[in-house]
């Protein structure tokens, strides 16, 4: 697999046994601390988290069990962010590159901006300051059917 952040985020929600996931993680060591399975790709500036929880309807329909790639974090030392985003980008540039406006700011973390993608899930961009002048990290999780009222409200806003 070519090291391309936009292609890597397409792995979200896939089973650890999926050919594309296996090809990407190859022989990287797996951490299993406190029941949390993860792969730290420090050389790439990535963290991959796996869980046996089925979050999306697609995962539930597969019924294959095992582990699913349920979070990906691109750290500031990663040089291939998705959507050609770079750490020097401010909010305006990020929104232009993604062709999408940020739709939510977490009250507990005013620096986190969130986007929802039907095919990808929950996409978060963390900036280094509250003025959104520089990207710090990018985090993605699959999310299809939010169960909390807060997330349902967000989904309603997004679909307008």
What separation, in Å, do the N-terminal and C-terminal C-alpha atoms of the chain show?
A: 36
Which residues lie closer than 8 Å to 106 by C-beta, 6 or more apart?
Answer: 112, 114
pTM: 0.77
pLDDT digit string (tens) for the chain, length 160 residues: 557 888 888 888 888 888 998 888 888 888 887 666 888 888 889 999 988 876 677 777 776 667 888 889 999 899 899 999 999 999 999 989 988 877 665 656 666 677 766 666 778 888 888 888 999 999 888 765 545 555 555 445 444 4
Strand order in the sheet with 68-74: 31-33, 36-41, 46-51, 68-74, 135-141, 121-127, 112-117, 104-105
């Amino acid at each position: 697999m070519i090291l391309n952040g936009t292609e890597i985020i397409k792995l979200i929600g896939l089973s650890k046994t999926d050919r594309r996931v296996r090809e990407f993680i190859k022989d990287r060591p797996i951490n299993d601390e406190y029941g949390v399975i993860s792969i730290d790709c420090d050389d790439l500036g990535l963290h991959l988290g796996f869980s046996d929880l089925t979050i999306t309807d697609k995962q539930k329909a597969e019924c294959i069990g095992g582990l699913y790639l349920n979070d990906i974090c691109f750290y500031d030392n990663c040089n291939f962010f998705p959507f050609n985003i770079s750490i020097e980008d401010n909010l305006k540039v990020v929104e232009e590159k993604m062709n999408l406006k940020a739709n939510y700011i977490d009250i507990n973390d005013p620096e986190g901006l969130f986007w929802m993608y039907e095919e990808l899930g929950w996409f978060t961009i963390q900036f280094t300051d509250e003025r959104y002048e520089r990207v710090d990290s990018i985090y993605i999780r699959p999310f299809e059917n939010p169960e909390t009222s807060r997330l349902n409200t967000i989904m309603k806003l997004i679909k307008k």
